[in-house]
Amino acid sequence: MKQNNIILDLTFDFSLQIIKYTKILKENREYELSKQLFRSGTSIGANVREAQSAESRNDFIHKLRISDKEAQETEYWLLLCKRSEGYPDADELLKTIGNIKRILGKIISTSKLNNN
């Protein structure tokens, strides 16, 4: 029986939400911001998925750190959307990215401890 991987599932679902949100941004002609948010928001899950095939624990940690950096960038773009006039509501996405950052931080710190 396959066990669920919370961070894989969460980041995949978040990518789907980002795709929908950036589509709305494109419809509102916010092309540049849409592109930046799409890239960073979907790469979080791609890097988490890549980490599942890491060659070592250090490689695993490195790939998750990249995911965390992308999550930080994504949060920045979402905060810009939230605080800019006329942008669609980003509160749910901000809440989710906060959860993703917390989980990634926990996985990274636990992996570092287990690596020593």
Please check whether residue 92 lies inside any domain of the structure.
yes
To the nearest 10°, report the CA torsion of 34, 37, 39, 40: 170
Q: Which residue range(s) make up the domain with 64?
A: 6-115
Please check whether residue 1 lies inside any domain of the structure.
no
Please, is 54 exposed, middle or buried when counting C-beta atoms within 10 Å of its C-beta (0-12, 13-18, 19+)?
A: middle
Q: pLDDT per residue over 6-34, tens digit each?
A: 999 999 999 999 999 999 999 988 889 99
Phi and psi for 2 in degrees, rounded to 5? Answer: -80, 130
pLDDT number for residue 113 = 82
Residue 50 sits in a domain whose CATH number is 1.20.1440.60
Q: How many domains does the chain have?
A: 1
Q: pLDDT per residue over 48-106, tens digit each?
A: 999 999 999 999 999 999 999 999 999 999 999 999 998 999 999 999 999 999 999 99
Nearest in space to 62 (alpha carbons), one of 72, 48, 76, 43: 48
